[in-house]
Amino acid sequence: MNNPRTHSIQAHQNRAPIYEALESFRQMRVVPFDVPGHKRGRGNPELTAFLGQQCIGVDVNSMKPLDNLCHPVSVILEAEKLAADAFGAAHAFLMVGGTTSSVQSMILASCKRGDEIILPRNVHKSVINALVLCGAVPVYVNPDVDQRLGISLGMRREQVAKAIAEHPKAVAVLVNNPTYYGVCSDLRAIVKMAHAAGMRCLADEAHGTHFYFGGGLPVSAMAAGADMASVSMHKSGGSLTQSSLLLVGPNVHAGYVRQIINLTQTTSGSYLLMSSLDISRRNLALRGRAVFHQVADMAEYARQEINAVGGYYAFGRELMNGDSVFDFDTTKLSVHTLDIGLAGIEVYDILREEYDIQIEFGDIGNILAYLSMGDRPQEVERLVSALAEIRRRYQRDPTGLLNQEYVEPEVVTSPQEAFYAEKVSLPLAETRGRVCSEFVMCYPPGIPLLAPGERVTAEILEHIRYAKEKGCSMTGPEDPDLERLNVLA
């Protein structure tokens, strides 16, 4: 059990103050001479027909009875306190700009221009975007790579200790908890090392919301003593897309964090998103433990069935080695596909186009089916059957397939310096040896192949060519077709 406070069903966790205030407001039939301009849907009947009156009627502006996200004093503040209690945090902030906004606020609240921050290179692009914004300098800990699966793992304790010793003035250590594939580092040990060196420990928990509410799952950031954590409620927590939480521990000044959030977050917070966070927090606090136990059981059943098909490898806790794979999120259904001669993105496309099954992503060698509270056993059976049929119909010789999801970068300058420097646009093939000034990544998962300030190598160019050929969605560069790349002049 990660946090006893989280799993005790307390009477006040039955509350959903933002939702309750919106329901009261709906019954008042207030005449709107404010924004939004659709005026409870009357001004946009097509949108109302599409979303429904129930939804459009509570798409409202901040006002005294409904509080204000930028400076909450009533129902939003109460919802934040309930979220903090449910997640075992000193404070929680409702975020309506996605977990990208949470991650960036977390880093901007901890780093300023010239500060060093220790982090794994296999971070989401939002982390490096934050470094572009604030001017902090990354100290990358290159993760180990599982050679069979081609996926990056967690940070080894020895690597983190070495980075801290070599960069004693660094202000923070950032940890993925977990990676997209479900791999967890030894978070408790990293927190202790960071704090002993006078550094903060930050956690990107975009894919770890359920850690706060599940038995037998990896430790959550707040339970491990981390200072801040970005929690993507809309992924496994059940809230609406783009809604997130930023959690902070007792040694972080919440008022300053609010100021940082208000630098970039909208002043017109969506009550649809905020109420979804409020309702979803209540649901998790009251029912999350039972729900995620069922999700983990479904994922384990699916792993066994997929591995019985043959050719595929649905990996799990057997990867754990006590260090770079300290723990594993058993709700993640990650499947290696190269042994049947298909890249993950090819299986992804076949599932969608021929079987009407939409999975989370496919990359060079793996697919990820994201299981959560809304999945049912019969749908898992359908996925397993489809994968068996794909193997029978499409299996081929795997010779010549690339398998590395992670390419170790050569960092030349900071992301901010490279992003804002004088640059030239060159044909992709002519950029070898130059320093990139923009991002290149497959999305999802959104881990950059190239980030500003990194050298373009032959290996990276081959990886980009191969990913494009296999149909990966390439994002980040100014040229949407990725025929050209911006590099330092």
Number of H helices, E strands in the chain: 17, 20
**Residue pair 328/320 in contact by the 8 Å Cβ criterion:** yes
Per-residue pLDDT, averaged over 116-136, amounts to 95
Q: Which residue has the tokens 């993640």?
A: 332
DSSP structural state of residue 68: -
Report which secondary-structure segment, H or E, holds 91.
Answer: strand 91-95
In angstroms, how far apart are the furthest CA atoms of the chain? 68
- What pLDDT score does 446 carry? 79
Per-domain residue ranges of the chain: 69-267, 288-394, 415-488
**Residue pair 243/233 in contact by the 8 Å Cβ criterion:** yes
Instruction: Provide the pairing of β-strand 137-141 with 116-120.
Output: parallel
Nearest to 110 by CA among 208, 226, 21: 226
Options 3.40.50.2300, 3.90.105.10, 3.20.20.10, 1.10.150.240; CATH of 415-488: 3.90.105.10
Fold of 69-267: Aspartate Aminotransferase; domain 2 (3.40.640)
Residue 198, by phi and psi: left (phi above 0), alpha (psi -120 to 50) or beta?
A: left
Nearest to 316 by CA among 291, 336, 333: 333
Fold of 288-394: Aspartate Aminotransferase, domain 1 (3.90.1150)
pTM of the predicted structure, to 2 decimals: 0.93
CA distance from start to end of the chain: 54
Beta carbons within 10 angstroms of residue 475's beta carbon: 16
Is the pLDDT confidence value at 4 over 50? no
Burial class (CB in 10 A: 0-12, 13-18, 19+), 281: buried
Q: Residue 255's pLDDT band (boundaries 50, 70, 90)?
A: very high
Q: How far apart are CA 471 and CA 344, in angstroms?
A: 10
Q: What is the DSSP annotation of 225-277?
A: T-SEEEE-HHHHS---TT-EEEEE-TTS-HHHHHHHHHHHS-SS--HHHHHHH
List the structure tokens of 117. Answer: 């921050």
Looking at residue 9, its amino acid is: I
Contacts with 319 (C-beta within 8 Å, 6 or more apart), sequence order: 146, 183, 325, 328
Q: Which residue has the tokens 């793992």?
A: 153
Nearest to 246 by CA among 277, 270, 271, 269: 277
Q: Which residues on neighbouring strands pair with residue 425, listed in sequence order?
A: 486
Per-residue pLDDT, averaged over 237-262, amounts to 97
Condensed to tens digits (0 to 9), the pLDDT of residues 285-320 reads 999 999 999 999 999 999 999 999 999 999 999 999
Is the pLDDT confidence value at 8 over 50? no
Per-residue pLDDT, averaged over 133-157, amounts to 93
List the structure tokens of 412. Answer: 């030349």
List the structure tokens of 324. Answer: 């770079």
Condensed to tens digits (0 to 9), the pLDDT of residues 348-389 reads 999 999 999 999 999 989 999 999 999 999 999 999 999 999
Is the pLDDT confidence value at 152 over 50? yes
Q: How far apart are CA 441 and CA 467, in angstroms?
A: 10
- What pLDDT score does 1 carry? 43
DSSP structural state of residue 413: S
Outline where DSSP puts E strands in 300-360: 313-314, 327-328, 332-336
List the structure tokens of 244. Answer: 């997130």
